[in-house]
Amino acid sequence: MRRKTLRTIALSVAAATAVALSGCAGGGGGGDAAAGGTVTLWVRDYQEAIMKPLADAFNKSHDTKVKVTLVPAGEFVQKLGTAAAGNNAPDIASIDLVFTPYFASVGALADITDKVEALDYADDLSPAHVAQGQYEGKTYSVPFTGDVSVLFYNKTLFAEAGLDPEAPPKTHQEIADAAARISALGDGKYGYVFSGACGGCNIFSMTPLIWASGGNVLNEDGTKALLDSQEVTDALQLYRDMWANGDMPELVQTDNGPNAGTPFQEGKIGMKGDGTFFLGTLASEGTVDFGVTPLPGKDGGSASFAGGDNLSITSGSKNPDGAWEFLEWATGEEAQTQLADASVLPIRMDLLDDIYIPKDPRYQVFADALAKGFVPYSTVENELFNDNNGIWATLIAESVFGGDIEAAQKKAQKAAQALLDEAND
Amino acid sequence: MTSTLLPPAPAAAAALSSPRRRRTGLGRRRQLTGALLALPAIALLGIFFLWPLTRTVFMSFFDWPMLGAAEFAGLDNYAKAFTDAEFLRAVGFTLVYTALTTPLLLVVGFGLALLVSRRTRAARFFQTIYFLPVVIGLASGSFLWLFMWQSDVGPTTQLLGSLGLVDPAKNIFADYWGALLIVVGMVTWKVAGLQMLLLLSGLQSIPVEVNEAARMDGATGWQVFKHVTLPLLRPTLALVLVFSVAGSLLAFDQFYILTTGGPANSTITAVYQIYRTSFIQFDLGYGAALSLLLMLVLGLVSAVQMLLLRNSDHS
């Protein structure tokens, strides 16, 4: 029974450390606050621009001080895992929500069920984030930031190709047609771009094409793989056809994340599936006239990956009370408003109408996507989907660039099911 | 030590045994000093090699996740390695890579060494130039080449494109041989200088008289090289071979950075697979077993080469 946790040990460690003093290093120090002291927080590096101001705002109004450490995004899971194994984990981890089931399952996170239930707005938190924060009926994290996937399209290129910039694609066929017409413009213009060697990117931007068709990659409780289903075939076929037709630039075959956005930002690409963060980048540059639309299914419908970060207190935290103080504040109106002002999608469903949607007409698409977003639930997410050499990334590479979709699906399904069986036995 | 400080007790016995005693005392003191002086090195060896090694061996017999409880698994991890298609494929690729780089490095290193073996200022100048890439870190070198050969934006692809030699829009890393050759090229550029230096010192340790004698006997340049230089250089050649074979079998950084194992996982090396097993799949026990298997292979390769070295050492 590998991967199953030693919850008892982890929890007793947590209890022991909770009893231990909360290291009093607070600058300014007032004696009456519940917690005080310093808490450390790890976050993926690309969120520096939002995390630093948020920490400053918290530190100004609290005796407890939060100290932010940026961790390279590609190594976050490894670093947090090794740190937890060596009892050097931070007090708070801002974890890509898909990894919270894993860290909860191995006892690395503290059980905060009672505290979360006591929040006034417990029922107004993003449902997808809440679901990922739970493991075997207990809650191990609170939602923090939203990052949902939609289809970005370049309105200028749509117009140039004779397409209506106000009528973005609503089916797979319409995506393929638009891509072909934009590529026909020539001059280095391509219809579609994605990161073909990146597992995480595609669970974010490609699975919505599957969900919207009514399919899935895993069943509800993450025990069965569905990688050989027809809806998966349809999405792979769409990408395969666009690649074979030359509607994608060559870089997509080897890009593992960082480069696919650049040609879109340069105005050379018609469409790209991406998230809320990308909108911030595009909007601040202001060079591309773009629109956003939900990612469609084969014959219509739409779906989205409801991503972002969850905040968890680690089971080894020396200052769990101080850590909770930050978690509670970070999900509160002040912090969520500050996030919305920084064009991050808040996770408080009750606040979206006031603090987020009015800021930009395109935000409505994100808000809707968050409400009905999907996230596959799995304790082996990293190995199954996010590993750039793993099952999911290999399935995409072999299907889209190799062409034998059926064989690739068969192989991936077998490997994925074996992995899930091993993890869930 | 204490015994040497004691006064020789019974006078009668002292007369007979004290010289011997003193000698053993001195010997012991020397031994102790030696041990004391070696202690830092032993401590380092212990902390950074012996202890991790023992621990790795221990872990390799367990189903040992990164977080959570370890379970004894006997030889399961080892048995699994021989049926693990992904690992076997990685091993196969590592061997291909080693077979490709080793002769290339040797020939290029040797060629460079011959070029700079003249004792002139110009030779020293070029020797420095050829050696320069060696002092660049492997990771930095990899990133440099990654950028140089990027389609559309890389300076090398641009330059070769403007000469009409390659299609600058072509993604070289998307092709197995393209990706592999770039890695091999980078490693050759990076490591050949070191091979050159080692071979050069070997060449220069061959007495001039031997060469002169051969020439006086009427040997041609090729004959001198084949019958004098090569045999006398064999120990150096063996050393260089051990270096490059071990280096190639342990290849990781260059592939992690340049190809990230692609296209379609075709350039994953053994160490890359160990990394994935341990830090992506969090299966530390299996990763430990794979590491030990690799260590065994490395030990064998080195042993064989040492054997060759001994048999060929005529000096």
Per-residue model confidence (pLDDT) at position B306: 78
pLDDT score for A14: 41
Q: Cα separation of A356 and A122, whole Å?
A: 19
ipTM for the predicted complex comes to 0.76
Average pLDDT over every residue of B231-254: 90
- Rank A13-17, A290-294, B157-161 by mean pLDDT and report only the highest: A290-294
**Chain A interface test: which of B87, B276, B282 (most A C-beta within 10 Å):** B282
- Quote the pLDDT of residue B11: 45
Q: Are A209 and A297 in contact (CB under 8 A)?
A: yes
Judge whether A2 lies within some domain. Answer: no
DSSP structure string for A172-231: HHHHHHHHHHHHTT-TT-EEEE--TT-HHHHHHHTHHHHHTTT--SB-TTS-SB-TTSHH
The residue in chain B having the minimum alpha-carbon distance to the alpha carbon of residue A395 is B264
CA distance A167 to B251: 51
Q: How far apart are CA A180 and CA A190, in angstroms?
A: 8
For residue B213, give both structure tokens: 């004698």
Considering the domain architecture, whether residues A22 and A123 belong to the same structural domain is answered as yes
Shortest Cα distance, chain B CAs vs residue A362, angstroms: 32
- Per-residue confidence (pLDDT) for residue B21, from 0 to 100: 55
Predicted pLDDT at B256: 92
* Domain annotation covers residue A229: yes
| CA distance to partner chain B, nearest, from residue A368 (Å) | 33
Q: Long-range CB contacts (< 8 A, 24+ apart) of A118-121?
A: A119/A328, A119/A331, A121/A331, A121/A348, A121/A350
pLDDT of residue B212: 87
pLDDT at residue B285 is higher than 80: yes
The band of A35, judged by pLDDT with boundaries at 50, 70 and 90, is low
Residues A121, A155, single domain; the answer is no
Range of the domain at A96: 7-140+307-371
Q: What is the mean pLDDT of residues A201-216?
A: 95
pLDDT exceeds 50 at position B279: yes
pLDDT value, residue A358: 93
Q: Would the CB atoms of B151 and A251 count as touching at under 8 Å?
A: yes
Among B243, B247, B208, B250, which Cα is nearest to B229's? B208
Query: Domain check: are A277 and A419 in the same one?
Result: yes
Do A240 and A167 have their domain in common? yes
Confidence of residue A7 (pLDDT cuts 50, 70, 90): very low
B279: chain A residues, CB-CB within 8 Å: 78, 81-82
| Best residue in B63, B67, B152 for a mutation probing chain A (most A CBs within 10 Å) | B67
Using an 8 Å CB-CB cutoff, list chain B residues near A107: 67-68
Query: Do A182 and A92 belong together in one domain?
Result: no
CA distance A3 to chain B (A): 6
Residue at A299 is within a domain:
yes
Residue A403 covered by a domain:
yes
Q: Which residues of A touch B282 (CB under 8 A)?
A: 3, 81, 382-383
Q: Which two tokens stand for residue A161?
A: 């190709």
Q: Would residue A225 count as lying in a domain? A: yes
Is the per-residue pLDDT at A23 higher than 80?
Answer: no
Express each pLDDT in A38-76 by its tens digit: 999 999 988 888 899 999 999 999 999 999 999 998 889
What percentage of chain A carries pLDDT values higher than 70?
92
Q: What is the CATH number of the domain that holds A396?
A: 3.40.190.10
Task: Read off the pLDDT band of B311 (50, 70, 90).
Answer: low
Comparing CA positions, the residue from A114, A17, A28 lying closest to residue A64 is A28
Count of domains for chain A:
2
A118 part of a folded domain: yes
Average pLDDT of chain B to the nearest whole number: 87
- Residue A1 within any structural domain of the chain: no
Q: What pLDDT is recorded for position B6?
A: 43
Say if residue A94 is in the same domain as residue A127: yes
Do A23 and A117 sit in the same domain of this protein?
yes
Q: Is the pLDDT of residue A361 over 90?
A: no
Is the confidence at residue B16, as pLDDT, over 60?
no
Categorise residue A161: left if φ over 0, alpha if ψ from -120 to 50, beta otherwise: alpha
Q: List residues of B whose CB lies inside 8 A of any A CB.
A: 63, 65-69, 71, 151-152, 169-171, 173-174, 259-265, 268, 276, 279-283
Whether A205 and A263 share a structural domain:
yes
Q: CA-CA distance, B87 to B268, in Å (whole number)?
A: 9
Section A320-348 average pLDDT: 94
**DSSP state at residue A346:** P
* pLDDT single digits (tens) A100-111: 999 999 999 999
Between β-strands A134-135 and A142-154, what pairing exists: parallel, antiparallel or unpaired? unpaired
The predicted pLDDT at position A11 comes to 39
| Distance, CA of A60 to chain centre | 29
The whole-number average pLDDT for the span B136-154 is 89
Tell me, yes or no, whether A183 and A71 share the same domain.
no
- CA A326 to chain B, closest CA, distance in angstroms equals 26
**What is the C-alpha R_g of chain A?**
22
Say whether residue A285 is in contact with chain B using an 8 A CB cutoff.
no
pLDDT exceeds 60 at position A6:
no
* Confidence at B20, pLDDT banded by 50, 70, 90: low
CA-angle at A159, arms to A158 and A165, nearest 5°: 65
Instruction: Compute the nearest-CA separation of A106 from chain B (Å).
Output: 5
User: What are the chain A neighbours of B152 within 8 Å (beta carbons)?
Assistant: 251
Q: Does A398 touch chain B (CB under 8 A)?
A: yes
Q: B68–A382: do the CB atoms touch at under 8 Å?
A: no
Determine the distance in angstroms separating the CA of B288 from the nearest CA of chain A, rounded to an integer: 15
Query: In whole angstroms, what is the distance from residue B2 CA to residue B23 CA?
Result: 14
**In terms of domains, do A68 and A103 share one?**
yes
Place B23 in a pLDDT band, splitting at 50, 70 and 90: low
Do A86 and A174 lie in one domain? The reply is no
**Is it the case that residue A413 has pLDDT exceeding 80?**
yes
Segment A218-248, tens digit of pLDDT: 998 889 999 999 999 999 999 999 999 999 9
Tokens of A265: 């930002």
Confidence of residue A20 (pLDDT cuts 50, 70, 90): very low
Nearest to B171 among A81, A251, A383 (CB): A251
Whether residue A258 is predicted with pLDDT greater than 90 in this model: the reply is no
Contact (CB<8Å) B276/A389: yes
Q: Of the candidates A179, A173, A194, A180, which has an alpha carbon nearest to the alpha carbon of residue A250?
A: A194
On whether both A195 and A249 belong to a single domain, the answer is yes
Q: Is there a contact between B67 and A389 if contact means CB atoms under 8 Å apart?
A: no
How would residue B272 be classed by pLDDT, with cut points 50, 70 and 90?
Answer: very high
Which residues, 6 or more positions from A84, have their beta carbon under 8 angstroms from its beta carbon?
Answer: A103, A106, A108, A314, A315, A316, B67
Rounded mean pLDDT, A170-187: 96
pLDDT, tens digit, for every residue of B190-241?
A: 999 999 999 999 998 888 888 889 888 888 888 888 888 888 888 888 889 8
